[in-house]
Amino acid sequence: MDNKNLRNIWPAMIETAHALGAHYRPAMERTAQQHGLAPAEYGVLLVALMFAPHPVAVWNLRLRGPYTSAGRYDERLRQAARLGYFKVPHEGEYRLTDLGQRTAQRLLDAASRAMSRLAPVPGAESHRLAELLHRLVVASAAAPEPPGTRNLSLSRRLDPDEKANVIVRLDQSFSDLNAFRDDSHLAAWQPCGLNAIAWEALTFAWRGEAHTPDELFAKLPNRGHSRDDYAQALADLAARGLAKADSGTYALTRKGQALRQKAEEQTDQYFYAPWKVLSEGEVDELSSLLEQLRGGLASPVKTSRT
């Protein structure tokens, strides 16, 4: 199967997932506010559900998402614990309390109720899209190492009952495939020896989105890294011959461009390998159904009567 066709589908899927999220995130945020939680704090409750029955800690959060600082994760966990959502049986280990579990479930229920009221496309089309996406998720879950399926396996722990509303199941499949994309990208770049801050700095320069410590700091406020952290990351790229500085502005060298491009191609190779479970005709069908769903979500969305 030609990956050039597939590469058009993934960005469309991300856009569709974001469009769907715009319809249910306000309900989650209202629920979080009722419990005194900021978005970052309620996010850590949902992640803790994925890790249960094991405790959540800074180290395993950073395995899942290495781009955020240990200090920022620690702040979020400690704040949620102060509010009574976590107990701390051992220093650095956090387990959801009964209140934490109930609250996390209420957040998920709020999102599910919001999605269950949507009818952005006819039922037959939404069920067919759900079927195709689920086949991709199952195939991805069986992927060998590399890339492995750490993030995908965690995402699957929030999988709703198979009798759940079809829009809810679509959202879960989007989350699952996004998690596997993360698995694929981590497997592609981590062997190069850069830390996560330097890799993200390299990526933003590669995309033409940020070339200085100040620009990185401004674009990534939730990561918890300082301007000095980004300055050190860019200096590290320059020391490795991956970037070149000119009056404090960094541009990637050919070596840096080649390294980032190679990682992107390896990411695609890992990520799209399971898509062979779909025929070329089914890939075209998937693309068309995603376009229909995205269009339906962008326009005034009809609500179901159930």
Could you tell me the pLDDT band of residue 41, with boundaries at 50, 70 and 90?
Answer: confident
Instruction: Note the pLDDT tens digit of each residue in 109-166.
Output: 999 999 999 999 999 999 999 999 999 999 999 999 999 999 999 999 999 988 999 9
**How many other C-beta atoms are found inside a 10 Å radius of the C-beta of residue 4?**
7
| Closest to 119 measured CA to CA, from 300, 287, 285 | 300
pLDDT higher than 90, residue 231: yes
Which residues, other chains included, contact 66 with Cβ-Cβ below 8 Å and sequence gap of 6+? 186, 196
The arithmetic mean of pLDDT across residues 42-68, rounded, is 95
Could you tell me the pLDDT band of residue 6, with boundaries at 50, 70 and 90?
Answer: confident
pLDDT higher than 70, residue 5: no
| Closest to 148 measured CA to CA, from 273, 54, 49 | 273
- The whole model's pTM is what? 0.95
Please report where in the chains the tokens 């107990």 appear, as a residue.
87
Quote the pLDDT of residue 70.
97
Alpha helices in the chain (DSSP H): 3-34, 39-51, 58-64, 70-82, 98-116, 123-141, 150-156, 166-189, 196-206, 213-219, 227-239, 254-272, 280-298
Regarding beta strands 95-96 and 86-87, do their DSSP bridges make them parallel or antiparallel, or are they unpaired?
Answer: antiparallel
Q: Sort 146 into a burial class: Cβ within 10 Å, 0-12 / 13-18 / 19+.
A: middle
Distance CA 229, CA 241 (A): 19
Distance CA 41, CA 60 (A): 16
Amino acid, single-letter form, for residue 145? E
Quote the pLDDT of residue 300.
59
Query: Residue 291: which region, alpha, beta or left (left: phi > 0; alpha: psi -120 to 50)?
Result: alpha
Quote the pLDDT of residue 299.
74
When mean pLDDT is compared across 34-38, 114-118, 263-267, the lowest value belongs to: 34-38
Residue 243 carries which DSSP code?
E
Quote the pLDDT of residue 306.
39
Peptide bond before 147: cis, by omega within 30 degrees of 0?
yes
Average pLDDT, whole number, for the chain?
94
Distance CA 103, CA 97 (A): 10
The arithmetic mean of pLDDT across residues 238-245, rounded, is 98
And the tokens for 86? 């976590």
Quote the pLDDT of residue 8.
87
pLDDT higher than 50, residue 305: no
Please report where in the chains the tokens 């326009």 appear, as a residue.
299
pLDDT higher than 90, residue 275: yes
pLDDT higher than 70, residue 2: no
Instruction: Note the pLDDT tens digit of each residue in 73-95.
Output: 999 999 999 999 999 999 999 99
Instruction: Note the pLDDT tens digit of each residue in 198-219.
Output: 999 999 999 999 999 999 999 9
Paired strand residues for 249: 246
**302 versus 53: which is more confidently predicted?**
53
The arithmetic mean of pLDDT across residues 164-169, rounded, is 97
pLDDT higher than 70, residue 1: no
Quote the pLDDT of residue 303.
56
| Closest to 173 measured CA to CA, from 144, 143, 136 | 136
Instruction: Note the pLDDT tens digit of each residue in 172-196.
Output: 999 999 999 999 999 999 999 999 9
